[in-house]
Each structure stands twice: as C-alpha cells, then as structure tokens.
C-alpha cells in the first residue's frame, strides 16, 4: 500500500492483470467477456472510508445494488462493513454472505407488508420511506417486539445534481418524507412524538453527479431535524443518523476524487455538531467503494469500416453497460485497447466506434472515440465498472451474464478467484420459462370438462 502500487487501477497493473487473465483462460475466443474486481483495491477503499471517519461511532454499510455479489459482500463484511439492502433479493444476498443482521439496513421506497414483517423479525434496521409505511411499521411494532433500529427517511429538498435520475433530494423526488412542503416538517416531528421507538433519521441526497456541498446540505437538514425532535422529546430519541451514500466517482481518469476525507471535511464544515459524539452514524456508500475497483474486458470479434466510420464489433454492449449505452453523456466510460495477449495498444490513434453484440443500432459503448486501431481478437476494457455494471445486466438478446472474477496482486503475481460463473445456456433457458414449454399451447382449448 505504501508503494502506491495498487493505488486503484493504474494502466500498468491492469495490463498485468489482463495478461494473466488471458493466460489463465479467463478471456479468449469462448470467454468473450468478463468482469474483474480488485480485491486489494476494495480493501483499500474500505480502509480509506474508515480512516476518513476516524474515531466517530459509525456503521459503514455497502449499498448492495452497486454490486450484488455474495463473495464481495463477505469480503466487505470481513473488513467490518454491513449492507444496505432494498429488496428481498438483496436481503437474501446479504444474509447468504453472512453479513450479521445487526449490520443490515433495509431501505426501499415500496416495501411490502411481508418484507417489513421479515425485517422486524430478523432484527434488520428499517428506514421507513413515508408516513404510510411508518404507520404499517407501528402496527407491527405494537404486535411484537423487535430488535430492529427504526428510522424515517426524509427528503431535505436541497436540490439536484447534474444527473436528474440520480438526484433523490429534489423538490419532487419520490424518496422520503419531504421536509419543505407546507406542513410536512410538523407532521414529521409529530410522528417522532407519536412513536418513541423511532430513533433514526435517514437521508440520501443522491448519487453520481451530486456535489459534496449538496450532500452536506442534506445531511445538515437531517441533523437539524434530529436536534428539534430531541429537544421536544427532552431526551436523545434520535440516536443515529443515516447519512446515505452518494459520493460521486471520477470516470475521467485514474484519480480517486473526491476522496472520503474530502467528504468528511465537507460534512464537518457544514454540520459541526455531527461529530460531537452524540449521534451514532451510518453510511451507505456503493459506487465510490467499488467503481474504480473493477473493470470489464470484452473480446473484439470483427472490425469494419462503414460510411468512412471504423467500427469494432465487440462483446461489450448494452447488456453489461446499459446506462452508458442509453445515456452516454451522463455515463461515459474510459475504454482501453489491448492485444489478444493482454498487452495494451498505445500507437495508431484514430476515431472509432466500439459496438456491442446487441441487435439494435444504438448498441455502442463509445462513439467516435480516439483509440489505438482495434483489431479482431483484441480485448477492449471498460474502465471503472466495478459498480452498477457487471452485476446490473440487461436481459436483451438473452446474452449470458458474463463471469466476474476477483483478483489480487498482493504478494506479487496475480491471483484470481471466480466471484460469479458465467450464466449457462440452461440457466438462460430457465429464466425464459424453460420449465413450462407447454404453458400456453393448451390454454385456449380446455379439455373435455367430463
């Protein structure tokens, strides 16, 4: 770590990992795409997060939707982290990873009655999204005791970042109880008075595209609300503040920016009382913990020139970089080009399109990008895809979900472990109703009622 050798994914280290992956048979003519996760980098990112918060009492959770992979969650749990989950599936994944229930937080804007009951039964912390959900929780709490920490998500309505779809604290966001609407704050304060077990305030201002001062402004609103509730209660009713996640990631180059240290400094300036020890804190980072600790590699099958435009037909497309393909301005990715043996190509730059295998014309992960000339058999690498990419596939064209491999270069050499196998054709068929091929053919001809 001191040498800076694994300061995230620098080009030299990635080249080494890629060459080792080819040599190990993890990429090639039949292994046409794979995701890679940097175990050393993940541990280092967790370390930076912990160091940034210092001695403050914090439960750091990982937002599972950023990379719902059981071995990764176990790695994070091993490093002391918990999980933020937002569906029964994510909860099951966290439990399968062995994350202690006391380190799991359930957030989601639309939890069913059954989900809530399960969470309270397990003792998983729950943040209610709205006052209707809070009323449901109140009924459950009155019926049976629970170890769950219970909170309420508020929307501080502090504004939006540069990507509307990623901004959860806008005036009209679907998330949380708005604080600035007429009468809303009063209703929130009354809810805390009515429910003495309600002990947490949750805020998550947003994700990619939200600047630090916007996130800090949202946290300040949550903290002020907690102070108001506690003052009225005459006790520390709100004992923990869940600050959400949302640290943006730099997709332009290798640098990690902003850093967790910068985020904590911003929080300290905007909300000095946050770190005075009266509040336990929860964080829920996703993208910033994993994005730069992963990349996706895909094989180039063919190249062509069409209308003067050079196009590489690769296995990196919308099925694994959905947001990038559909919202290229909001989610651009760096692309690098490697020879079939993994060695990086550096010379002969020219504008090229990097197209995927999906059957629609817009399936391009890069357009007119100046890159070394791509040749058939090459590998293209999509950088910074450790979060929300390889594990957020899109089922279009029923392309098998690629494998995800973890790697470590600690101690020299490159060691790999498969985190998730490539989906098999049988699994693709099973997902497509393959266990009931006759479901429809007989539906319109009811047999003899006899």
Ligand X SMILES: *Cc1c(COP(=O)(O)O)cnc(C)c1O
Binding stretches for ligand X (CB under 6 A): 63, 65-66, 84, 107, 204, 207, 244-247, 284-288
CB of 108 to ligand X, least distance (A): 8
Cα 116–Cα 118–Cα 120 angle in degrees, nearest 5: 70
Cα 262–Cα 332–Cα 254 angle in degrees, nearest 5: 45
Q: Which is nearer to ligand X, 223 or 260 (CB)?
A: 260
Paired tokens of 27: 């990429």
Please name the residue that has the structure tokens 């060691």. 415
CB of 80 to ligand X, least distance (A): 18
Cα 13–Cα 22–Cα 399 angle in degrees, nearest 5: 110
CB of 81 to ligand X, least distance (A): 13
Q: Which is nearer to ligand X, 107 or 353 (CB)?
A: 107
In terms of C-beta density within 10 A (0-12 exposed, 13-18 middle, 19 or more buried), how is residue 142 classed? Answer: exposed
Q: How many angstroms separate the CA atoms of 438 and 442, rounded? A: 7
CB of 242 to ligand X, least distance (A): 8
Nearest residue to ligand X on Cβ basis: 286
Q: Which is nearer to ligand X, 153 or 338 (CB)?
A: 153
8 Å CB contact between 278 and 262: no
Helix (H, G, I), strand (E, B) or coil at 174: coil
Q: Which is nearer to ligand X, 66 or 91 (CB)?
A: 66
What are the Cα distances from residue 90, in Å, to 109, 143, 321, 407? 14, 26, 21, 24
Q: Which is nearer to ligand X, 66 or 366 (CB)?
A: 66
Q: How many angstroms separate the CA atoms of 284 and 272, rounded? A: 20
CB of 244 to ligand X, least distance (A): 4
Paired tokens of 131: 């006052």
Q: Which is nearer to ligand X, 207 or 391 (CB)?
A: 207
Q: Which is nearer to ligand X, 31 or 130 (CB)?
A: 130
Q: Which is nearer to ligand X, 43 or 60 (CB)?
A: 60
CB of 64 to ligand X, least distance (A): 9
CB of 120 to ligand X, least distance (A): 19
Paired tokens of 312: 């590489």
8 Å CB contact between 206 and 168: yes
Paired tokens of 245: 């996640």
Q: Which is nearer to ligand X, 107 or 384 (CB)?
A: 107
Q: How many angstroms separate the CA atoms of 74 and 448, rounded? A: 55
Q: How many angstroms separate the CA atoms of 324 and 296, rounded? A: 13
Q: How many angstroms separate the CA atoms of 72 and 63, rounded? A: 12
CB of 139 to ligand X, least distance (A): 24
CB of 107 to ligand X, least distance (A): 4
8 Å CB contact between 127 and 153: yes
Q: Cα 215 from chain centroid?
A: 17
- Where would I find the beta strands (DSSP E) of 17-103? 33-38, 58-63, 82-85
CB of 248 to ligand X, least distance (A): 8
Q: Which is nearer to ligand X, 291 or 335 (CB)?
A: 291
């Amino acid at each position: 770590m001191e040498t800076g050798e694994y300061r995230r994914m620098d080009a030299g280290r990635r080249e080494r990992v890629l060459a080792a992956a080819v040599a190990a048979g993890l990429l090639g003519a039949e292994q046409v795409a794979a995701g890679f996760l940097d175990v050393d980098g993940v541990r280092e990112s967790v370390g930076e997060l912990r160091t940034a918060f210092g001695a403050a009492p914090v439960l750091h959770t990982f937002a599972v939707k950023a990379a719902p992979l059981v071995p990764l969650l176990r790695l994070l749990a091993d490093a002391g982290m918990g999980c933020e989950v937002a569906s029964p599936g994510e909860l099951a994944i966290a439990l399968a990873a062995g994350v202690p229930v006391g380190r799991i937080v359930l957030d989601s804007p639309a939890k069913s009655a059954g989900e809530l009951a399960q969470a309270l039964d397990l003792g998983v912390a729950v943040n209610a999204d709205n006052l209707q959900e809070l009323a449901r929780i109140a009924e459950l709490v009155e019926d049976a005791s629970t170890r769950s920490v219970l909170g309420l998500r508020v929307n501080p309505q502090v504004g939006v970042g540069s990507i509307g779809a990623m901004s959860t604290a806008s005036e009209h966001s679907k998330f949380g109880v708005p604080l600035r609407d007429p009468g809303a704050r009063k209703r929130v304060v009354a809810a805390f008075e009515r429910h003495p077990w309600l002990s947490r305030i949750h805020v998550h201002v947003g994700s990619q595209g939200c600047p630090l001062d916007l996130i800090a402004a949202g946290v300040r609103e949550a903290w002020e609300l907690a102070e108001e509730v506690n003052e009225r209660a005459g006790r520390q009713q709100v004992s923990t503040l869940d600050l959400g996640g949302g640290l943006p990631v730099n997709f332009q180059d290798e640098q990690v920016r902003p850093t967790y240290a910068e985020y904590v400094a911003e929080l300290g300036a905007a909300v000095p009382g946050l770190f005075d020890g009266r509040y336990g804190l929860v964080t829920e980072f996703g993208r910033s913990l994993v994005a730069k600790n992963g990349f996706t590699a895909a094989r180039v099958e063919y190249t062509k020139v069409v209308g003067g435009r050079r196009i590489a037909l690769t296995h990196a497309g919308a099925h694994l970089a959905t947001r990038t393909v559909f919202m290229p301005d909001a989610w651009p990715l760096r692309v690098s080009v490697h020879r079939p043996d993994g060695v990086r190509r550096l010379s002969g730059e020219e504008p090229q399109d990097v197209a995927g295998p999906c059957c629609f014309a817009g399936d391009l992960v890069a357009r007119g990008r100046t890159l070394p000339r791509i040749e058939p058999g090459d590998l293209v690498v999509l950088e910074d895809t450790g979060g929300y990419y390889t594990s957020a596939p899109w089922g279009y064209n029923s392309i098998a979900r690629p494998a995800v491999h973890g790697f470590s270069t600690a101690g020299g050499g490159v060691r790999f472990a498969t985190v998730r196998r490539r989906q098999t054709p049988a699994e693709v068929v099973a997902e497509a109703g393959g266990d009931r091929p006759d479901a429809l053919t007989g539906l319109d001809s009811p047999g003899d009622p006899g």
